[in-house]
Amino acid sequence: MLPVWLSDIRGALLAFLVTELLAFFRCFGLSESPVLRCGLALSCLAGLCCSISFYLHTCRAVFNRKPTLSFKAFWHHFMVTRPLEVVWRFLTAPFRVQPDFHILGETRTGTTSMAAHLRGLGCIGPFSPWIIPLASDKESFYFVGHYWGLVHPGAYRMCFPLEPTMWLYELWYGERPPVFDACASHLNAPWAAPLIRAASPEAALLVMLRPPAEQNASWWRLEQGAHAWARGMGLEEDFLREGYPPRSFQDALRASQSEPVAELYRTGELAAAKVLGAFGTSIHGVRGLIAALRAPCLSELLLPFPGGQLCAFEHMGRYARNVARYAKLFGKERMVFAETQAELGKPGGAALISARLSALVPRLRRWQDRPVSRSLDGRSLSAGGQSSDNGKTALRLNESQTLPPELEPPQEVLAQLRQHYRAANLELFEFLGRDLGWNDESK
């Protein structure tokens, strides 16, 4: 992989500058090669236009702020994004594959660790517009509107490899590797299930589950780090909505339980029908791409979570409601459920989860059985994905940091929150047909 300075639009701008300097000094006959120079100029122009528009959109829809019109903020954003590849992938979307399976889960439920384990087996994750190690090749952010609110399934293939690339994999390995998306935001997004069903109707679903009170607290901690990152980028504290972000964990819980946020979630549930119904439901080829580009985009009020990331706690904690949207469309038989702490956190747990998933994705089984398969922490895997060294615990990635005492969720509030989610947990247990033990106060 190229260094960031030489990748994407940054490398194109450098190549354009070098080419123009050589042409100016009449070196290598470049002054008489307008095709190369024009091609580089057009690539740079397309990449810069994409970068600027992506910055303006993500300031509002991802960072919940009004765009900061400063060079420092734009430069930091410019250095962690891939705008030129975004343009290329949209142009070539009709010639790309769709995923074999999705990893769903509320944020902070182990999707990052599970995705890393699967990549270690040889699976291919999606393209991410962000140059962030734990997001790259892990989550697309497509159906949560990072691409200007565009969520029509006709362009979703832009996140995955080209068909010729998969042919080369097949030629070299004898079989195509499984392809997946592990966007943690897709389970909570109320519009995502119908769109994912339209994009990949045959896909299997792996749903990661974690006790909701612990998930809420972990998400609060991570978001505090995200706000610190935004400030470090130079983004100003000029938020879109008055009173956002909530000043404390308790304030965030109350906001997530408010009627205005509930109304936004109800609006989000209706959004998929509007997106799919505007210009047809075609998702294949050039027609699918055209339909996607013409379809209405989601309102920024819904992105990436209705009301903002810190207003999602209550809706994240009600797993049964979110899971039911997918079960209704895909069927429960196409879903595998894994509990983060009880399964993924155990020695060999990731291998056992992927072995269960392989019952729905036969190609995954064959890739697990390959002698060269490696797990997340580098240990060899034998047939069925079992560890050959007694199963080390999978690495825990993307852990949230402990906050200062004034921001850390109080233990008494977490205890109240566990009681609050008891009924929702029972609803999930009934759906699963098994008790996950989340309501056991002795634990």
- Alpha-carbon gap, residue 340 to 350, rounded angstroms: 10
Question: 438: which 2 tokens?
Answer: 């989340």
Beta-sheet pairing, 180-181 with 204-209: unpaired
Helix, strand, coil fractions of the chain, as percent rounded to 5 = 55, 5, 40
- Dihedrals phi, psi of 124, to nearest 5 degrees: -110, 125
- pLDDT of 395 reads 53
Give, for 206, the enclosing helix (H) or strand (E).
strand 204-209
The residues near 105 (Cβ < 8 Å, ≥ 6 apart) are: 111, 184, 187, 207, 208, 209, 210, 340
- pLDDT of 396 reads 53
CATH H-level superfamily of 97-432: P-loop containing nucleotide triphosphate hydrolases (3.40.50.300)
- Dihedrals phi, psi of 371, to nearest 5 degrees: -60, -25
- Alpha-carbon gap, residue 121 to 317, rounded angstroms: 31
Domain-by-domain residue ranges, the chain? Answer: 1-95, 97-432
- pLDDT of 279 reads 59
Give, for 180, the enclosing helix (H) or strand (E).
strand 180-181
pTM, 2 dp: 0.90
- pLDDT of 345 reads 79
Mind giving me the DSSP string for 45-57?
Answer: HHHHHHHHHHHHH
Number of Cβ atoms within 10 Å of the Cβ of 207: 23
- Alpha-carbon gap, residue 352 to 337, rounded angstroms: 12
Spatial CA neighbour of 296 closest among 274, 280, 267: 274
In tens digits, the chain (443 residues) has pLDDT values of 678 888 999 999 999 898 888 777 776 665 567 788 888 999 999 999 999 999 999 999 999 999 999 999 999 999 999 999 999 999 999 999 999 999 998 888 999 999 999 999 999 999 999 998 878 899 999 999 999 999 999 999 999 999 999 999 999 988 899 999 999 999 999 999 999 999 999 999 999 999 999 999 999 999 998 899 999 999 999 998 888 999 999 999 999 999 999 999 999 999 999 998 865 556 788 999 999 999 999 999 999 899 999 999 999 999 999 999 999 999 999 999 999 888 887 888 899 999 999 999 999 988 877 654 444 434 443 434 344 333 555 555 556 667 788 889 999 999 999 999 999 999 999 999 999 999 987 66
Return the beta strands (E) in 230-351 as ranges: 335-339
- pLDDT of 312 reads 95
